[in-house]
Structure 1
Amino acid sequence: MKMIFSRKGSRMAVLGICVLLIGSSVAAQQTANDSILQNPTLDNVIRYAIERQAIVKKALADEQITEANIKSRLADWYPQVNFGYTFQHTFDVPTNIIGGNPIQLGVENTSALQLLATQNIFNRDLLLARNTKADVRKQAQQTTTGNKIDVAVNVSKAFYDVIATEQQIKVSNENIVRLQRSLKDATARYEAGIVDKTDFKRATIALNNATALRKSNEELLTAKTEYLKALMNYPVNEQLKITYDSTSLDDQAQLDTLSLPDYTRRIEYQLLATQKTLQEANLRYQKWSYLPTASANGAYIRNFLNNDLGKLYNQSFPNSYVGLSLSWSIFQGGKRKQGIKAAEWQLAKTVYDLENVKNTVNSQYAQALASYKSNYNTYEALKENVQLAQEVYDVINLQYREGIKTYLDVVTAETDLRSSQINYFNALYLLLASKVDVEKALGTIVY
Structure 2
Amino acid sequence: MKPYKGAFAILLIFLATVMPSVTKGQQLDPILKGLINKGLSKSQTVNGKYLDAEQAGIDQKLAKSVFLPKITLNGSYTHLNDDITFDENTKNLLTETQKLVIKDAVGLPFNSTFPNTLPLQEVPVLQNQNILRSSVDVDWVLFSGLEASNALQASKHKEASLNYLGMAEEDKIALQIIEAYDKLALVRASKKVLTTSEDYLNEQAIYVSKAIENGLATPISRNKIELAKQQLEAKKLEFEHNNTLLIEVLHQLTGKSRADLKMLQPQLHSFSVDADSNWEKRNEIKALEEAEQATQYQAKMIKSNFIPKVAMKGHYEFIEENLSLLDPKWYVGVGLKWNVFDGNQSRLKRRKVQLETAKYREQIEEANEMIELAISKAEISYESALLNTKIVKKEIELANENYEMVNTQYKNNLASINDVLDALNDVEKANFKLQESYFKERRAVADLLHAKGILNY
After superposition, the Cα gap between the structure-2 partners of 1:71 and 1:243, relative to the gap in structure 1 and judged at 3 Å, is: farther
SS at 1:265's partner residue?
A: coil
What amino acid is the match of 2:126?
A: L
Given that residues 41 and 243 in structure 1 are in contact (C-alpha distance below 8 angstroms), is that contact kept between their aligned partners in structure 2?
no
Residues 1:121 and 2:142 aligned together? yes
> Larger Rg: 1 or 2?
2
Residues 1:56 and 2:42 aligned together? no
Counterpart selection for 1:271 from 281, 287, 312: 287
Residues 1:44 and 2:62 aligned together? no
Q: CA RMSD in A?
A: 2.3
Partner of 1:235: 257
Deviation at 1:353, TM superposition (A): 1.4
Deviation at 1:213, TM superposition (A): 0.8
Deviation at 1:119, TM superposition (A): 1.2
Deviation at 1:399, TM superposition (A): 2.2
Partner of 1:258: 276
Partner of 2:13: none
Greater alpha carbon shift after TM alignment, 410-419 vs 58-67: 58-67
Deviation at 1:221, TM superposition (A): 0.9
After superposition, the Cα gap between the structure-2 partners of 1:228 and 1:151, relative to the gap in structure 1 and judged at 3 Å, is: same
SS at 2:329's partner residue?
A: strand
Partner of 2:451: 441
Deviation at 1:436, TM superposition (A): 0.8
Identical pairs, percent: 18
Partner of 1:284: 300
Partner of 1:222: 244
* Higher helix residue share: 1
Partner of 1:205: 227
Deviations 1:48-94 (A, max 9, x none): 22233333333333333333333234223211111001211222223
Deviations 1:380-399 (A, max 9, x none): 21122112211211121122
Given that residues 80 and 129 in structure 2 are in contact (C-alpha distance below 8 angstroms), is that contact kept between their aligned partners in structure 1?
yes
Partner of 2:401: 391
Counterpart selection for 1:400 from 407, 410, 429: 410
Given that residues 56 and 147 in structure 1 are in contact (C-alpha distance below 8 angstroms), is that contact kept between their aligned partners in structure 2?
yes
Unaligned runs of 5+ in 1: 1-38, 307-311
What amino acid is the match of 2:336?
A: L
SS at 2:272's partner residue?
A: coil
Unaligned runs of 5+ in 2: 1-28, 93-122
Deviations 1:209-240 (A, max 9, x none): 11221121122111112212211122356544
TM-score between the two structures when normalised by the length of structure 1: 0.82
Counterpart selection for 1:295 from 311, 327, 345: 311
What amino acid is the match of 1:46?
A: I
After superposition, the Cα gap between the structure-2 partners of 1:288 and 1:106, relative to the gap in structure 1 and judged at 3 Å, is: same
What amino acid is the match of 2:135?
A: Q
How far apart in 1 are the matches of 2:374 and 2:237?
38
Deviations 1:295-325 (A, max 9, x none): 112121134446xxxxx9xxxx971121111
Counterpart selection for 1:412 from 414, 422, 437: 422
Deviation at 1:287, TM superposition (A): 1.3
Partner of 2:334: 324
Counterpart selection for 1:354 from 364, 367, 373: 364
Deviation at 1:442, TM superposition (A): 0.9
Greater alpha carbon shift after TM alignment, 151-160 vs 370-379: 370-379
Greater alpha carbon shift after TM alignment, 84-93 vs 101-110: 101-110
Counterpart selection for 2:69 from 60, 63, 79: 79
SS at 2:86's partner residue?
A: strand
Partner of 1:364: 374
SS at 2:333's partner residue?
A: strand
Given that residues 120 and 296 in structure 1 are in contact (C-alpha distance below 8 angstroms), is that contact kept between their aligned partners in structure 2?
yes
What amino acid is the match of 2:231?
A: N
How far apart in 2 are the matches of 1:135 and 1:245?
42
Deviation at 1:345, TM superposition (A): 1.5
Kindly indicate whether structure 1 or structure 2 has the higher relative contact order, using CA contacts under 8 Å at least 6 residues apart: 2
